[in-house]
Chains A and B, each alone.
Chain A
Amino acid sequence: MKTDTNQVRRRCEFARSFRRAALISVVFILHPSSFTLANGPVRPGEPTVDYYKAEGRGISVRWEVEPKTVHVSSDLTVTLVVTGAQNPTEIVKPDLRKLKPFDVFKITEVPDPPRNATAKEVRFGYKLAPRDTSVTEVPALKFHYYNQFAAEGKRFPSTRTDAVEIIVTEPPKAERSIVPIEAPEFLFHPATGPDVIGRGPFVPCQWAWLAAVCFGPLVCFGWFLVWRRVFPDAAQLARMRRSRAARRATDAIRKANRMPDPPAAVANAVLGYLRTRFPIPEAAVTPSEIAAALKERNVPDEIAEETGDVFRACDRARFAPACDNGLSLVASAKAAVARLEALA
């Protein structure tokens, strides 16, 4: 417990002494005399401008400028040479940026060589870049120094550098770099011709859509009328095809030509139809028997005989091919089916 109390006390004392030291430091920094101590003592009659802490009896200053001809915004190497100073290491480098005559230059400080206490001259380097062609000289620089051997009141004589004439020229015009346009090749080929200011793309209006809707049915209806006029039997055939048996029979008759024995195929198709629509007995296979069976089913004699003739024609075509040809056989078979279908 006692140890803890001692530690706390020690900490408090340390904090107090630290605070005191900080306060003294702040007072020292802010007090005017501290500046005097930092920059050296202020002598009575010391100039506030153009005095750079140089001391000596006969100090001279001069500019060294290289080159004398320069382009606008190009650098001149300018060196201030101070000769005859007794305190070479204490001379402060003049800040040309604070001097109004040097506003016509853009000023860059250059690091100076190290100075020693016995040096006969001190050199301060600068880079000055004239802002425009109206600049004709590096201006004179007034330079006060301290001469402790002079009479009271004359201990801060001044000297000055001579102004150095320079020639400032326009910078050479940079060669305009010629750069081609980089773009895809197709961009360089515009569309030409009357289409450029033509009527634009066709956009169908509502009347155009109505016309398209009506066009199909009208054309097809016209086609149907023409078909009925040109093929009246075909129209009848179409009615006949309402019967599935008749449709099958006519399809089979139509395809009979592709069979190895077309007359037999036609005969089979017609017989199949008859057995479906008019249940004739299985025993009726010859043309006469078929005709007779049809008559028994109340088919008019004329139609029954014509149907029998179809089977006779088929038989003739099968066993005496020169007597009939396939086309007429197909036509007569179709006609027979149509006639019977009309009765059914």
Chain B
Amino acid sequence: MNGLARFALLIAFLFSAAPAFGASAPDTLADAERAFAEGVELRHDSDRAKPAFARAAASYDELWARGYHTPELALNRSRAHRLAGDLPRGLAALHEGLAVARFSRPLQVELDDARSRVLYPIEGELTTQCRPRPIRTVSTRMSPADAWVASGFAWLLACAGVVRFAMTRNAVWLVFTALWVVALAFLGALWLQDVRQRERDESLPLLVVTTDVHLRKGNATEYAPRIEPALPKGAEVRELSRRGGWVQVKLPGGMIGWIPEEVIVPCAK
């Protein structure tokens, strides 16, 4: 077989294999937006609207799986899942979006709103154990790009103060420089603290509970519940280990117990 024939065969193979890769990202996005729009049009009838939102959510999920990790896509995924009646997956989508853009204010607001829909118990120990703690560190308010610009600007001003002092021999400029260096150091300290806190609090994988389930003392239904009542659908827990179809989890309050694997949805980092 000569080279030309081989090349033709390769081209033919590529073209024949092309459909297996599925629709392009813009096409998938268009599908998702169409399904979402259909759901919005049918919003007065939840039985008909929810399947449309579920289709939209599936398309958005596909885009996310392909590596399009943007805050806007995370927001759309979450909204589609929530409107399809799947609050836990909506929460998971928001967490995945925040892992990419922790500073995104719309994602934070939407996460707070989604959490407010979870039926946490109003009183009792479980209330303090399973209600998630809000995180308000510097990285939730400032993006890495903002920090880069701010620190670069502060550094520039500090250097400018030194130069100005060299020009005028006026000590005021040294004070000016010192102020900006202190500001820079403060920003750095905040960022360092943020990184340490994230390492401490978020090193374990996050899971969202998809249905009301008891936190048990062991990895079987024969074990007594660790706490009453059951964990509500949408509760957020951290994974410690897995064994025999069960996951050992830690509640935000520190309590540890077991829940079945089939009642959780993981949040990919």
Contacts and interface: CB of A to CB of B under 8 A. Distances in A.
A149 interface: no
Contacts of B145: 201-204
B23 interface: no
Contacts of B71: 200-201
Interface string B4-35: 00000000000000000000011001000100
A181 B167 CA distance: 68
Q: Which secondary structure dominates chain B's binding surface?
A: helix
Interface string B58-90: 000001000011111101100110110000000
Interface string A170-185: 0000001011110110
Nearest to A235: B167
A188 B156 contact: no
A187 B63 CA distance: 19
Interface string A200-227: 1111100011001101110111011001
B100 A220 contact: no
A159 to B, nearest CB: 55
Given A188-B83, A238-B169, A180 B46 contact: yes
A188 B100 CA distance: 23
B163 A220 contact: yes
B93 interface: no
A45 interface: no
A196 B70 contact: yes
A196 B163 CA distance: 45
Contacts of A200: 68-71, 100-101
A227 B160 CA distance: 13
B113 A184 contact: yes
Contact of A215 (B36, B101, B152, B162): B152
A197 interface: yes
Given A196-B29, A216-B159, A204 B144 contact: yes
Interface in B138-163: 143-145, 148, 151-152, 155-160, 162-163
A190 B143 CA distance: 23
Contacts of A223: 160, 163
A247 interface: yes
B55 interface: no
A198 to B, nearest CB: 5
With most chain A CB atoms within 10 A of its CB, the pick from B33, B63, B148, B170 is B148
B203 interface: no
A127 interface: no
Interface residues of B, number: 50
B238 interface: no
Contact of A197 (B70, B79, B155): B70
A196 B56 CA distance: 14
B72 A179 contact: no
A328 interface: no
With most chain B CB atoms within 10 A of its CB, the pick from A199, A213, A219, A224 is A224
Interface of B: 25-26, 29, 33, 36, 40, 43-47, 49-50, 56, 63, 68-73, 75-76, 79-80, 82-83, 100-101, 104, 113, 143-145, 148, 151-152, 155-160, 162-163, 166-170
Minimum-distance CB pairs A-B, first 9: A212-B152, A241-B169, A191-B72, A216-B159, A216-B156, A220-B159, A204-B148, A220-B163, A216-B155
24 contacts: A176-B47, A181-B43, A181-B49, A187-B82, A188-B43, A190-B76, A190-B79, A190-B80, A191-B75, A193-B72, A197-B73, A198-B68, A200-B70, A201-B100, A201-B144, A202-B144, A215-B156, A216-B155, A216-B158, A219-B160, A220-B156, A220-B160, A220-B162, A224-B163
Interface of A: 176, 178-181, 183-184, 187-188, 190-193, 195-204, 208-209, 212-213, 215-217, 219-221, 223-224, 227, 234, 238, 241-242, 247
